[in-house]
Amino acid sequence: MTNRTILITGGSRGIGAAIAHEFAAAGDRVAVHYSSAATDAQKVVDSLAGSGHIIVQADLRDPEAIKAMVDSVAQEFGVIDVLINNAGVFFDHPIESSTYQEWQQAWSDTLGVNLIGAANVTWCALQYMPKNSTSRIVNIGSRGAFRGEPVSPAYGASKAAIVAFGQSIAQALAPMKIGVTTLAPGFVETDMAARLLDGPEGDGIRAQSPFNRVARPEELAKAVHFLASAESEWASGAVLDFNGASYLRM
């Protein structure tokens, strides 16, 4: 299915940028959302195949900014066929060593973007989604939802919650023919992860997978593209573990 309109949150780099390239290469028009990296977002759009792509800005902790951002996408594109909730933040805040102020701020910012922000973007985008089998919502979760994140418990909690959110709205939106899925990756080779992957912990991180590497953004993009396809309808409500067998669960 091509010639759809796609909104990708957190699309200015890494996984989001790779997803934008994948959809654009298939003939879709893409709205690349960013929070503060306007220059990076514009570079992504300028590098996409095809034409008609746009950048849009919003702090996902701000409900009114989200609504204005989604409204602007719909005004430009007419409809929003696919939403990819990719934006996410990760802050170190181990409970045993964080101050109370640091603890509170990390939880507020993490849930504000990763969970509440994603939920608000979804509500707003739904107002412009065609009620047919080409409409899809794909949430980017994490293996941390299942294995735990001791250094960033708010991140683990937010990703567990986005799984439950996705399953809840998958049931709610099925009568509208809108499929909802979640991709749960492990470590991905991005700028955000480079500090760890290039440091002394890098070899240990790669060794978590029996393939002895981490995922490439382009691999995630192809998985997301399938989950957003018309052929993925029967996967609605599912969570796709995508971690190179680095974390296995029943």
φ/ψ (deg, to 5) at 103 = -60, -50
| DSSP codes joined into one string, the chain | --S-EEEETT-SSHHHHHHHHHHHHTT-EEEEEESS-HHHHHHHHHTSSSS--EEEE--TT-HHHHHHHHHHHHHHHS---EEEE---------TTT--HHHHHHHHHHHHIIIIIIHHHHHHHHHTT--SSTT-EEEEE--THHHH--TT-HHHHHHHHHHHHHHHHHHHHHGGGT-EEEEEEE--B-SHHHHHHHTSTTHHHHHTTSTTSS-B-HHHHHHHHHHHTSGGGGGGTT-EEEESTTSS---
Give the residue among 20, 26, 25, 93 at the shortest CA–CA distance from 229: 26
Task: Choose, from 34, 100, 128, 155, the residue flagged as catalytic.
Answer: 155
- Residue 163 near residue 239, CB atoms below 8 Å: yes
Judge whether 155 counts as a catalytic residue. Answer: yes
- CB count within 10 Å of CB 50 equals 15
What is the rounded distance in angstroms from the CA atom of residue 126 to the CA atom of residue 172? 12
Tell me which residues are annotated as active site: 155
